Amino acid sequence: MIQLETGFCVVGGGIAGVCAALAAARRGAKVVLVQDRSVLGGNASSEVRMHIVGASCSGRRPGARESGIIEELRVEDAVRNPHRSPHLFDLLLYDKIVSEPNITLLLDTSFVNCRVAGGRVESIRAVRPNTADDFLITAPYYADCSGDSHLGVAAGATWRMGREARDEFHEPHGQESADTKVLGSTILFMASRKDRPVPFRAPAWARKFTEKDLSLRSHREWEYGYWWAEWGGELDTVHGNPRIRHELLRIALGVWDHIKNDCPRAADDPTAAYEKWMDGEAPPRTSEGPENWSLDWVGMLPGKRESRRILGHHVLTENDVVSGRLFDDAVGYGGWWIDVHPPAGIDAVHEYPTAQIEVAYLYSIPLRSLISRDIVNLFLAGRNISATHLAFASTRVMATCGVMGQAIGTAAAHAAAVPLCDMTAAQHIRAIQQMLAEDDAFLLQPPAPRDLARESRITASSEAAGYSCAHIASAFTRATSPALHPSLPDSPNQWRSTALPAWIELRWPAAVAIREIDLIFDTGFERELTLSMSDAYTAKMIRAPQPETVSHYKLTANRAVIAEVTDSFQRLCRHKFQQPLLTDHLRLDVLATHGVPEARVFAVRVR
């Protein structure tokens, strides 16, 4: 048996687990990341190919896009992978993880069981069958990012699965009585146009669908389909997964068979009721038929939406989500609709495939929902957090999962530095929130920054109207407005020049010791940005460096250039100094951007 000792062990390498591991490692913790697949990313990986969505509601809530690690991944993917290869996204996640010296990555490795004593996980066992390796991993803190709560259930944490009764949490849209039904799973497929007709003959075991069966399910976009091809919500999505996978393959091939061989496709065909309800989100039908279209890929791994949820010190509810509740121990936020689907999935032919309950404002996610109430050293992130079915229907989307992953990774790193601390105590919450804000995670009520810039006199070469250079010392590092949440100020929180080149300068009355400078640039939060196989959705994005972003800049102190970057494209650019830099002034020169004719800077943080 191979024994590994670490500071933080993360079980599950989806988006939540990747962000948790990166956050903890970058804060100095030693991390072991256990992933049971050959690739990272979970539902966002090439094995499933679901796009990462979040609080921006696929563009319907501009400005709400998640910052922090998930934004770093999205921006870099757009730059490195403009042609949208799902395999290159796998590689990006792998590169990020293996490039962190504090992370030990165990791919193709499955969690088996754990040892628990005194309400704490003491160790876990994991196996890697393809190398016949057996691992015993010990750590003071663990995270269950497995999606199915494998670690939490094995540890004896209290869990639940299904839909709560309305009266339990007084949720307006709750069921009359509790049941075990959940959101179903989906197998996606991809197709492309060829230069000659390509016939398709479905296997005998594929399902058969009529246009009436699919009348509420748009099937106009052929290159990428279909999230609504859903099934399994009436089964146990953990133990019933083999049956669910086979049925989803029957469904995927049956839907494609219908498109190729049975769909009427009349030019004057009325818009499907589903598309009317969704404000014409699907692309308009053309006179082109599917004769020259062929399947290129069909997933073999179901994209699972819902499974077991671990109960924490707080259970997030529909009322928390819909009211935009602000928690004192907030470490993240969400904003996706409460997006519930019929458990029967595609077999519910007379129901819309989703019923989206409006979430008018962003809401906060408390750390208490990300820690097991029974197992004191077990963190949670992803679809298994402490939430009701209805609240989960909003928090389940992957960008929100990534936000929660960064939160628990940061919390674990703090806990490792302050052994046996009560993570829910106010002083530790404040410390974690401060660390998150420093790492560009957005909080609806951010702490006052630890920032020497706030003590300086700030001047600039020019200022566009409303975009004062004083904004770079704000606690907010994005444009805010009450439309996002009533508590937020209506402010751009950005310095913007009138031309390029441009400069902004900080001066102190006496020399200060600078150990780190963080620059936060604009990456276009008013647009969508994610990797999607959908052409219609991708049309909303720029698959390249974002035009608002600074590309060439230099930092000057003591009349010397202390840093110059000529190919920048990220939002957060961090400069650390091995020895404190003593100076009474600091200047940022913006020499070029990726498109816009002015400098756009949200923050110059000096510590």
Over residues 462-477, the pLDDT tens digits come to 999 999 999 999 999 9
Q: Which runs of E-coded beta strand occur in 200-359?
A: 224-225, 230-231, 293-298, 309-310, 330-334, 338-340, 355-357
- Tokens representing 185 are 């799973």
Q: What is the pLDDT of residue 60?
A: 94
Question: Closest Cα to residue 345, out of 226, 215, 230, 214?
Answer: 230
pLDDT band at residue 372 using 50, 70 and 90 as cut-offs: very high
CA-to-CA distance for 259 and 289, rounded, in angstroms? 9
In whole angstroms, what is the distance from residue 71 CA to residue 57 CA? 15
Could you count the other beta carbons within 10 Å of the beta carbon of residue 196? 7
Q: Residue 138 and residue 157: Cα distance in Å, rounded?
A: 18
Distance in angstroms (rounded) separating the CA atoms of residues 308 and 520: 38
Cβ contact 378:124 at 8 Å: no
User: How far apart are alpha carbons 144 and 147 in whole angstroms?
Assistant: 8
Mean residue pLDDT across the chain: 95
| Residue 286: how many other CB atoms lie within 10 Å | 9
287 — pLDDT class (breaks 50, 70, 90): low
The stretch 183-201 carries a mean pLDDT of 97
pLDDT at 272 > cutoff 80:
no
DSSP 8-state code for residue 381:
-
The percentage of the chain sitting over the pLDDT mark of 70, rounded to a whole number, equals: 96
What was the pLDDT predicted at 280? 43
- In 3-state terms, the chain is what percent helix, strand and coil (to 5)? 25, 25, 50
Tell me, rounded to whole angstroms, the distance of Cα 177 from its chain centroid: 32
Task: Report residue 451: phi and psi, to 5°.
Answer: -145, 115
Contact in structure between 104 and 6 (CB atoms under 8 Å): yes
**Cα 118 to Cα 120: distance, rounded to the nearest angstrom:** 6
Is residue 361 within 8 Å of 124, Cβ to Cβ? Answer: no
Gap between the Cα atoms of 401 and 143, Å rounded: 13
Nearest to 22 by CA among 387, 549, 381, 516: 381
Distance CA 415, CA 412 (A): 5
DSSP letters along 417-477, please?
HSTT--TTSHHHHHHHHHHHHHTT---SSPPPP--GGGGSEEEES---TT--GGGGGSS--
**What is the third-level CATH fold of 2-157+315-347+358-438?**
FAD/NAD(P)-binding domain (3.50.50)
Confidence of residue 267 (pLDDT cuts 50, 70, 90): very low
Confidence at residue 275, expressed as pLDDT on a 0 to 100 scale: 46
Q: Note whether 138 and 4 are within 8 A (CB).
A: yes
Mean pLDDT, range 356-365, rounded to an integer = 97
Q: What is the pLDDT of residue 289?
A: 87
The pLDDT score that the predictor gives to residue 19 is: 98
Question: pLDDT per residue over 26-77, tens digit each?
Answer: 999 999 999 999 999 999 999 999 999 999 999 999 999 999 999 999 999 9
Q: How far apart are CA 505 and CA 182, in angstroms?
A: 55
**Residue 411, φ and ψ in degrees, nearest 5:** -65, -40
Write the DSSP symbol of residue 43: G
Report whether pLDDT(451) > 50.
yes
So where are the chain's domains? 2-157+315-347+358-438, 185-298, 452-606
Instruction: For residue 60, count other CB atoms closer than 10 A to its CB.
Output: 12
Token duo for residue 146: 């497995």
Give the pLDDT of residue 279: 47
CB 358, CB 335: distance < 8 Å: no
- Whether 89 and 81 have beta carbons less than 8 Å apart is answered as yes
Question: Per residue in 325-351, pLDDT tens?
Answer: 999 999 999 999 999 999 999 999 999
User: Is 115:154 a contact under the CB 8 Å cutoff?
Assistant: no
What mean pLDDT comes out for the span 251-272? Answer: 77
- Predicted confidence (pLDDT) at residue 276 exceeds the cutoff of 60: no
Give 511-556 pLDDT, tens digit per residue.
999 999 999 999 999 999 999 999 999 999 999 999 999 999 999 9
Which residues neighbour 353 within 8 Å (Cβ) at sequence distance 6 or greater?
216, 217, 227, 228, 230, 274, 341, 342, 345, 346
The pLDDT-based confidence of 324 (bands split at 50, 70, 90) is: very high
Q: Which two tokens stand for residue 87?
A: 């395999």
Question: What are the CA-CA distances from residue 390 to residues 65, 186, 320, 351 (Å)?
Answer: 22, 20, 10, 18
Whether residue 113 has pLDDT greater than 70: yes
Phi/psi for 249 (5° steps) reads: -65, -40
Distances in whole angstroms, Cα of residue 504 to Cα of each of 497, 513, 566: 9, 19, 18
Report, as an integer, the average pLDDT of 440-459. 96
Structure tokens at 563: 């840093």
Distance CA 422, CA 419 (A): 9
Q: Are 364 and 327 in contact (CB under 8 A)?
A: yes
Q: What pLDDT was estimated at residue 284?
A: 52
The Cα 139–Cα 148 span in angstroms is 21
Q: How far is Cα 265 from Cα 257, in angstroms, rounded to an integer?
A: 14
Q: Give yes or no for a contact between 492 and 476, defined as CB atoms under 8 angstroms apart.
A: no
Tens-place pLDDT, residues 214-253: 989 988 889 999 999 999 999 999 999 999 999 999 999 9
CATH topology of 2-157+315-347+358-438 equal to that of 452-606? no
Residue 114: name the closest of 392, 378, 394 by CA.
378
pLDDT of residue 183: 98
Average pLDDT over residues 274-279: 43
* CATH superfamily for domain 452-606: Galactose-binding domain-like (2.60.120.260)
- Closest to 37 in 3D by CA, of 10, 13, 9, 15: 13
| 283 pLDDT tier (thresholds 50, 70, 90) | low
Q: Which residue in this structure is represented by tokens 């990986």?
A: 45
